[in-house]
Chain A
Amino acid sequence: MALLEIKNLVKHFPISGGFFGRKTGDVKAVDGVSLTVENGETLGLVGESGCGKSTLGRCLLRLIEPTSGDIIFENKNITEMNFDAMREMRRKMQIIFQDPYASLNPRMRVGEIIGEGLQIHGIADGAELKDRVMALLAKVGLREEQYGRYPHEFSGGQRQRIGVARALALNAKFIVADEAVSALDVSIQAQILNLLQDLQEEYDLTYFFISHDLRVVEHVSDRVAVMYLGKIVEIAPADQIYTDGQHPYTRALLSAAPVPDPTRKAERIVLQGDVPSPINPPSGCSFHPRCPFAQKICSEEEPPLVLDGNHGAACHVFGPGATVKPN
C-alpha cells in the first residue's frame, strides 16, 4: 500500500525585482513531480545541487507550501489541511536535516530538544516525558547522562543521533532524511546509516532519503529516483538503476562518481557545462543542451515519465517512452 502519493507537485518561487518589487519570474524548483512511496520502503532521491531535491522533501511535509499539486498521506490529502490538522499529521511525518550544527537550537538542552514534540502534542509530561526521552537517547546510541547537555558538547555524529531521536519521538511513520549523512566523515556516516537501518526494521519506518552521494543512496534505498531541474527523469529499483539506467543523465551521473577500485577503469561520460538555471529551463527536455544523444525532438517536446512496470524514464531516445532511435 502506498503510504504517500504525490501528484503533479509544483513549487515555484517568485522572483521580485524592478519597480515596486513586481514579480519578474519564477524559480521552478519543483516542476511537476509525481511519485508514490510504499509503506516500509526507502525511496532514494538523487540529483545535483539546485535540482530541487531538498525543496521537494520540504514540500512533502508542507514546511514549504507547494504552489500546486496534491500530497496524499495515508489516503488523506494533506495539501488541503488547515494548520491544526496539519500539525496533527506532522506527528507521523518528520525530517532529519543535513547540518547537525545548524538544526539544533544551541540554547536548548538535548533532553528539551528531543522532548519538545512530545510536550507540544501533549503526549507526555513531567517524569514520563523524561523517561521517554531517556529511552530515545538509548535507542539512538547516546548515554542517559547526556540528557542535560547542550548541542555544542557533542560531535557531528552524535548531533545527528540527536536529530534522529527528535524525529522518532512522536512515533513517526515517514521520515524525510535530507542529506542526513552528507556532513559526516565516512566512519561516522556508516554508524548513522546502520542506525537508520536498525530503526527502520524495528519501527517499520518509511524513508524518503535525499542525497547527492550515489553510493550511499544505492546502499540504503529500495528504489531510486533521479531528479534534474525540478523533474524526475528516472525512477527504478536501486539495483536496476545502477546496472540498467536508461536516461542519459542517470548514466552520466552514475558514471561520474569515482569508483574506489583501481583495477576498474570506469567508462566515464563527462558532461559538458553546468546545470542550467531553473528560472529559464531549456525548452523540451531540460537536459537536452548537455545530452550527448539529443535530437531535434528533444528541444521541442518535453518527454513524459513513462513507466514500464516499476522502471520509468522521461526520455525521447531511451527507455520505455522512447519514440526515436539513438543516432
Chain B
Amino acid sequence: MSALLQIKELQTSFFTSDGEVRAVDGVTFDIEEGKTMGLVGESGCGKSVTALSVMQLLSKGVGEVVGGEVLYRGKNLAEFSEAEMRDIRGNEISMIFQEPMTSLNPVFSIGDQIAESVRLHQGASKKEARARAIEMLELVKIAEPQKRINDFPHQLSGGMRQRVMIAMALSCNPSLLMADEPTTALDVTIQAQILELIKELQEQLGMSVLLITHDLGVVAEQADEVAVMYAGKIVERAKPEIIFARPAHPYTIGLMNSVPGVIDKSAKRLEAIPGIVPSPLDWPSGCRFRDRCSQAEEKCGGSQPDLIEIEPGHWVSCLKVPVSAAA
C-alpha cells in the first residue's frame, strides 16, 4: 500500500487584526490508497482548515499555508499555482461540506450544477455532461434521475441534497474525497443512509476518503485509521481497534469519557474535561492540553511533546505515556 496523500508538518495561519491565528500547527499524517482516514476533534481544533489547506481553498491574503508539505502522489500541492490546483480540484481531490443547502447554488438546477463540474474539469460537451449528471444521480441512488435532474436545491430534502453534493464531488472520478462533517446536519436515519452510500461508493470506485467529524461513533464505524486533533495538532493516531481499546492521550480519553456509553456504559456521571479549549491566538507553551489535563506535571510545560510510536501503529504526543517494548 502506498500513500496517496502525505501531509508533513503542515502549518496554516490566519492573519487577523488580532494577530496570527495558528489554526493548524504541525500536522502530519498519510492517507493510503483506497482507505479512510478519520480526523476527529472539537470545534476550532483545525480539522476543517487542514482539509481546506490541502485544497488551497483558504481565502487569499487571510489564510495561508506557512509551512510544511502536502504531497499528493509525491507532488507538493502547497507549491502549486492556482491554474495547476484547478486541475487537481474535482479531477483528483474533491470535497463535500457540512451544510448541503448553503453549498449548492439555489438558482441553478442540480443537473446544471453537476454538469458544470464535468464540463469544466473534463471538457465534456453539454450533452455528455448531462448524461453524466444523470448517471451520477443514479449512482448516489436518487430515484428517477431523468426527472430529478431539473429540480432545484430547495425542492430536495437535506439527505437528498447531500447525495447531490456527493454526486457532484464524484462526477470526475477523484482519487481522494474529503468529507467535512458530511452528516452532521442530518438526522440519524438519514446519516446512516449517507454513510452507507459513501462506503459503498468507496468500494466501487476505489477512492480514498478523508472524513472529518466530531462524532466518535462515525469514525469508529467508517475509518481505517483515526487521528485526534486538539488545538491545531494531532495528539493521537492509530487504527480504530487500537485507539478505542487503548486510548493513550489524556485528551482522547477525556473525549471518550465525555460521550455517554463509550468507555463505561453504566456510569451515572460523565467524566467531563474541565475548562475550555485555549485561544489559537495564544497557544500555551509546552503541551497545549496541559491546563485541562489531570495528569499534567511541570515537565509538560516545557517543549511540545512529539508524536511518538508507543506500540506498532499507535502514535501519541504525551510525555506521560509510557512506550511499550514492542515499538
- Using a CB–CB cutoff of 8 Å, the interface residues on chain A facing chain B are 48-49, 155, 157, 185-191, 193-194, 197, 212, 214-216, 218-219, 252-253, 255-263, 265-266, 268, 270-271, 274-275
**Cβ contacts B200-223/A at 8 Å (1 or 0 each):** 000000000000001111101100
A188 to B240 alpha-carbon distance, docked (Å):
23
Q: Report A-chain residues with C-beta under 8 Å of the C-beta of B271.
A: 190
Knowing A256-B188, A271-B189 are in contact, say whether A186-B221 is a contact too (CB < 8 A).
no
State the CA gap A255–B188 with chains docked (Å): 9
Chain B minimum-CB-distance residue to A258: B217
Among A49, A216, A256, A275, the one with the most B-chain Cβ atoms within 10 Å of its Cβ is A256
User: Known contacts A187-B254, A258-B221; is A155 also within 8 Å of B244 by CB?
Assistant: no
Q: What are 8 sample pairs from A and B whose C-beta atoms fall under 8 A apart?
A: A186-B214, A186-B216, A191-B274, A215-B259, A256-B192, A259-B220, A260-B220, A275-B187
Asked whether A194 lies within 8 Å of B269 as measured between CB atoms, the reply is yes
| Chain B residues whose CB sits within 8 angstroms of the CB of A265 once the complex forms | 221
Interface pair B256/A270, CB less than 8 Å apart: no
Contact check: which of B159, B245, B255, B274 meets A186 at CB < 8 Å?
B255
Q: A186-B214, A253-B188, A262-B220 are in contact. List 9 more A-B contacts (CB 8 A).
A: A187-B272, A191-B272, A197-B269, A219-B261, A219-B270, A262-B221, A270-B196, A274-B157, A275-B187
Name B47-90 residues within 8 Å CB distance of A: none
Q: Which residues of B contact A261 (CB under 8 A)?
A: 220, 244, 262
| Given known A-B contacts A186-B255, A189-B258, A214-B188, A258 and B220 have beta carbons under 8 A apart | yes
**Closest residue of B by beta carbon distance from A188:** B276
The CA-CA distance from A188 to B214 in the complex, in Å, is 13
Q: Is the CB of A190 within 8 A of B189?
A: no
Give A75 to B276 CA distance when docked, in angstroms: 43
Instruction: Give residues 254-298 of B contacting A (CB, 8 Å).
Output: 254-262, 268-274, 276
Q: Chain A's nearest CB lies how many Å from the CB of B41?
A: 9
CB distance from B245 to the nearest CB of A (A): 8
B191 at the interface (CB under 8 A from A): yes
Find chain A residues with CB under 8 A from B259 CB.
186, 190, 215, 260
Contacts of B135 in A (CB 8 A): none
Question: How far is it, in angstroms, between the C-alpha of A268 and the C-alpha of B217 when the chains are bound?
Answer: 14
Chain B contact residues, CB within 8 Å of chain A: 42-43, 157, 159-160, 187-193, 195-196, 214-218, 220-221, 240-241, 244-245, 254-262, 268-274, 276
| Contact of B244 (CB < 8 Å), options: A252, A256, A262 | A262
Q: Are B188 and A257 in contact (CB under 8 A)?
A: yes
- Which chain A residue shows the least CB distance to B190? A274
CB distance from A55 to the nearest CB of B (A): 16
Give A40 to B43 CA distance when docked, in angstroms: 34
B182 to chain A, nearest CB (A): 13
Distance, CA A261 to CA B272, complexed state (A): 20
B42 touches A186 (CB 8 A): yes
Q: In the complex, what's the smallest C-beta–C-beta distance from A239 to chain B, in angstroms?
A: 10
Asked if A194 contacts B240 (CB within 8 A), the reply is no
Complex Cα–Cα for A189 and B259 (A)? 8
The one of A212, A253, A262 that contacts B240, using a Cβ cutoff of 8 Å = A262
Closest CB of chain A to B105's CB: distance in Å?
A: 22
Which chain A residue lies CB-closest to B254?
Answer: A187
What B residues does A260 contact at CB under 8 A?
Answer: 216-217, 220, 244, 256, 259, 261-262
Q: Which B residues are CB-close (under 8 A) to A190?
A: 257-259, 270-273
Neighbouring A residues of B220 by C-beta, 8 Å: 258-262
Known: A48-B188, A253-B189. A263 touches B218 (CB 8 A): no
Q: Chain B contacts of A268 at CB under 8 A?
A: 192, 196
A259 contact set on B, CB distance < 8 A: 217, 220-221
Tell which of A186, A193, A256 touches B189, judged by Cβ atoms closer than 8 Å: A256
Give the chain A neighbours of B274 by CB distance below 8 A: 191
B217 to chain A, nearest CB (A): 3
Q: Which of A187, A257, A270 has the most B CB atoms < 10 Å from its CB?
A: A187
Closest 7 CB pairs of A and B: A258-B217, A219-B260, A190-B258, A190-B272, A262-B240, A48-B187, A185-B42
**A155 B188 Cβ-Cβ under 8 A:** no
Interchain nearest-CB distance for A224 vs B (Å): 13
B276 touches A157 (CB 8 A): yes
Do the beta carbons of B159 and A185 come within 8 Å of each other? Answer: no
| A263 engages B188 (CB within 8 Å) | no
